[in-house]
């Protein structure tokens, strides 16, 4: 894979298979349906990556530098203790001393795939991503078959559920479920 694909992005295997040759010369084969595909691919300095047949990827931009926290204006009416604690908190956040939880990788991959407006990401592709997490797949089918939507026939697969719910509802259900 070209190293420029990794510049400013995390790269995930969406479909197909890859051969990874690690720095210690160990070879690893990665399939898009295997659990390790939920994680980003290693950058070029850690592994040489070769595509085995037709593969597709999801590129997710790295988080931009955190916007600087806005200072709380401590005017005469503000509580000095809260203002002091806020300054300490913002300073520690800026320094990176407080670890913040990150969005689960599957949620990032789903958001990236759902954000693409072209038809390359059809219901089948989205369903494959959802099926990486069996609990999420069960939740999506449960939601689409609930009385809230009132479909005459029950959806029997994740792909049917994705087609019926549409991109926006799938994003809301999936990200909401994965972030709990």
What residue ranges of the chain have pLDDT lower than 70? Answer: 63-78, 99-103, 117-121
- Model pLDDT, residue 157: 92
- Model pLDDT, residue 81: 79
- Model pLDDT, residue 161: 92
Q: Which of 78, 82, 107, 84 is nearest to 176 (CA)?
A: 107
- Model pLDDT, residue 70: 41
Contact 38, 49 (CB under 8 A): no
- Model pLDDT, residue 140: 92
- Model pLDDT, residue 74: 41
**What is the residue extent of each domain of the chain?**
3-61, 65-100, 105-178
- Model pLDDT, residue 142: 92
Q: What's this model's pTM, rounded to 2 decimal places?
A: 0.46
DSSP string, 81-143: HHHHHHHHHHHHHHHT-S--PPPPHHHHHHHHHHH--STTS-HHHHHHHHTTSHHHHHHHHHH
- Model pLDDT, residue 66: 37
């Amino acid at each position: 894979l070209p190293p420029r694909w990794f510049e400013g992005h995390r790269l995930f295997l969406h479909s197909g298979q890859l051969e990874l040759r690690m720095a210690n010369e160990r070879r690893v084969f990665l399939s898009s349906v295997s659990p390790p595909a939920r994680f980003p691919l290693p950058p070029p300095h850690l592994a040489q990556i070769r595509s085995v047949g037709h593969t597709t990827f999801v590129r997710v931009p790295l988080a931009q530098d955190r916007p600087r926290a806005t200072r709380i204006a401590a005017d005469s009416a503000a509580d000095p203790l809260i203002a002091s604690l806020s300054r300490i908190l913002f300073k520690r956040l800026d320094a990176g001393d407080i670890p913040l939880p990150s969005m689960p990788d599957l949620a990032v991959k789903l958001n990236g795939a759902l954000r693409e407006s072209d038809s390359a990401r059809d219901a089948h592709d989205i369903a494959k991503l959802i099926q990486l997490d069996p609990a999420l797949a069960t939740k999506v089918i449960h939601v689409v078959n609930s009385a809230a939507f009132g479909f005459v026939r029950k959806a029997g697969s994740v792909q049917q559920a994705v087609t019926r719910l549409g991109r926006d509802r799938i994003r809301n259900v999936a990200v909401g479920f994965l972030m709990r």
